Structure 1
Amino acid sequence: MATSPSSRRIERLFRSHPSQDGDGVHIQRIHCFDGELDPFLMLDELGSDRPDDYIGGFPPHPHRGIQTLTYIVHGGITHEDHLGHSSTIQAGDAQWMHTGRGIVHSEMPLTDSQGLHGFQMWLNLPAREKMSAARYRDVRSDEMPRLKNEKAELIALGGSWSTPEGESVSGPLDALAGSGGVAHVRLEADGQLTLTAPSETLAVYVFEGALQIEGESVAAGQLARLSPGESLVLASPTGAQCLLLAGTPHREPIAHYGPFVMNSAQEIEQALRDYRNGTFTD
Structure 2
Amino acid sequence: MTGSQRTIERLLPAVPASDGAGVRLKRSIGTASLDHLDPFLLLDQFDTENAEDYISGFPNHPHRGFETVTYMIDGRMRHQDTSGGGGVLRSGGVQWMTAGRGIIHSEMPEQEDGLMKGFQLWVNLPACDKMNAPRYQNIEPEDVPEVTHDNGAKIRVVAGSYDGVDGAVGKIAVEPLYVDVGLPAGGRVEIPVSAG
Matches within 5 A, 1:1-282: 6-32=4-30, 36-111=36-111, 114-149=114-149, 150-162=151-163, 168-200=164-196
Over 3 Å counting, the alpha-carbon distance change for 1:37 and 1:148 in structure 2 is farther
- Tell me if the contact between 1:95 and 1:137 (Cα under 8 Å) persists in the aligned partners: yes
CA offsets, 1:13-58, max 9 Å, x none? 2321100001110010122487753221111111110100010000
Mapped to 2, the partners of 1:114 and 1:177 lie a distance apart of: 35
**Which deviates the most, 66-75 or 10-19?**
10-19
> Aligned-pair RMSD on alpha carbons?
1.9
Mapped to 1, the partners of 2:182 and 2:109 lie a distance apart of: 24
Mapped to 2, the partners of 1:6 and 1:186 lie a distance apart of: 23
SS in 2 for 1:52: helix
- Tell me if the contact between 1:67 and 1:177 (Cα under 8 Å) persists in the aligned partners: no
State the AA in 1 paired with 2:49. D
Shift in Å, 1:189 = 0.6
**Which deviates the most, 37-46 or 86-95?**
37-46
- Tell me if the contact between 2:26 and 2:46 (Cα under 8 Å) persists in the aligned partners: yes
Give the TM-score taking structure 2 as reference length: 0.90
Flag the structure with larger Rg: 1
Over 3 Å counting, the alpha-carbon distance change for 1:72 and 1:191 in structure 2 is same
Mapped to 2, the partners of 1:78 and 1:35 lie a distance apart of: 29
Unaligned runs of 5+ in 2: none
Mapped to 1, the partners of 2:158 and 2:195 lie a distance apart of: 16
SS in 1 for 2:108: strand
Relative to its length, the structure with more helix (as a share) is: 1
- Tell me if the contact between 2:81 and 2:106 (Cα under 8 Å) persists in the aligned partners: yes
State the AA in 2 paired with 1:144. V
State the AA in 2 paired with 1:93. G
Mapped to 1, the partners of 2:19 and 2:187 lie a distance apart of: 36
Aligned length: 191
Relative to its length, the structure with more strand (as a share) is: 1
**Which deviates the most, 71-80 or 6-15?**
6-15
CA offsets, 1:84-108, max 9 Å, x none? 2221010000111000010000000
- Tell me if the contact between 2:86 and 2:136 (Cα under 8 Å) persists in the aligned partners: no
- Tell me if the contact between 1:73 and 1:117 (Cα under 8 Å) persists in the aligned partners: yes
State the AA in 2 paired with 1:170. D
After TM superposition, what 4+ stretches of structure 1 lie above 4 angstroms from structure 2?
Answer: 33-36
CA offsets, 1:157-177, max 9 Å, x none? 001123xxxxx2110212333
Percent same amino acid at aligned positions? 39
Shift in Å, 1:115 = 1.2
Give the TM-score taking structure 1 as reference length: 0.64
Mapped to 1, the partners of 2:9 and 2:75 lie a distance apart of: 34
Shift in Å, 1:114 = 4.7
